[in-house]
Copies of this chain bind each other. A is one copy, B any other.
Amino acid sequence: MDQFQNIERLSLNQITTEKWNIREAVDGCARAGIPWIGLWRHKIKELGLPGSKRLLRDAGLKVSSLCRGGMFPAATATERQKRLDDNRRAVEEAAELGTDVLVLVCGPAPDRDIGAARKMVEESIGELVPYAKSYGVKLGIEPLHPMYAAERCVIVTMEEANTLAEQYQPDEVGVVVDVFHVWWDRNLYKQISRAKDRILGFHVSDWIVPTPDLLMGRGMMGDGVIELRKIRKAVEAAGYDGPIEVEIFNHDIWNTPGDQVLELMKERYLEHC
């Protein structure tokens, strides 16, 4: 079957239907025939880990990843330790929920020193790796768009994510490619190719023009300027054949009934991804 003509790899990242709780999201995926789901920790908290796990298993839904670990840099050693402990909990949750990918959003600097924050990220990942490995969980470093460097993540390019990941084995640390964050990068295809056999996730959405908002301005695939199919092909040429998550922060989409969003998502995925 043509790889672009089916939804076998399609995954609903839970944030795309932000108003649905885990039960509604699982039911929605079942109705829509979407085989994968990307989970968020705060959404799992609502029902608890065992209940969420049972729900997923009963629906036969596969978990593409858990969002999110990270947020490593902090002003004090105590706070950094607290963050690291929270990351260990995230590793445990990922394993328990049946995914081997924990997505890392690495965090901003606690001050003006972005270089120091990047070092903290590097050190914290180093501390987390053995723990994650013992649970069979891989750490997926997701470079975020540079416009989030001050508030969410000091790792903002594929080049940086690759450089960090390459300090470890591919079954320990890899990268997550989210088109919204990296589409603008002249080195994108070179860096995707460099990430060969180390890509742990592929997220799609679109960059809409004009862009209405820093955080909530993502669009549905096809509504923007990102060369989705081209990037997907590059990611696949680099050995990635796993689930493709649709992850969209957008109030209009959040305010649309979930079933409608899922139908549109399937249609656009087949047409553009």
Contacts and interface: CB of A to CB of B under 8 A. Distances in A.
Interface of A: 108-109, 111-114, 118, 145-147, 149-151, 154, 156-157, 159-160, 183-186, 207, 209-211, 213-214, 217, 224-227
B226 A184 contact: no
Contacts of A145: 146-147
Given A186-B118, A211-B214, A214-B211, A150 B224 contact: yes
Nearest to A113: B227
B227 A112 contact: yes
Number of copies: 2
A114 B147 contact: no
A160 B214 CA distance: 24
The list of the 4 closest CB pairs from A to B, nearest first, reads A149-B184, A147-B147, A146-B184, A150-B209
Contact of A185 (B146, B207, B214): B146
A185 B145 CA distance: 11
Judged by DSSP, the binding face of A is loop
A225 B147 contact: no
A211 B214 CA distance: 8
Contacts of A156: 184-186
A169 to B, nearest CB: 24
Contact of A227 (B114, B207, B224): B114
Given A211-B214, A214-B211, A214-B214, A225 B150 contact: yes
A80 to B, nearest CB: 19
Contacts of A184: 114, 146, 149-150, 154, 156
A225 B112 contact: yes
Contacts of A183: 114, 149
A210 B226 CA distance: 26
Nearest to A160: B186
B211 A186 contact: no
Contacts of A217: 214
A147 B211 contact: yes
Nearest to A147: B147
Contacts of A210: 151
Nearest to A186: B160
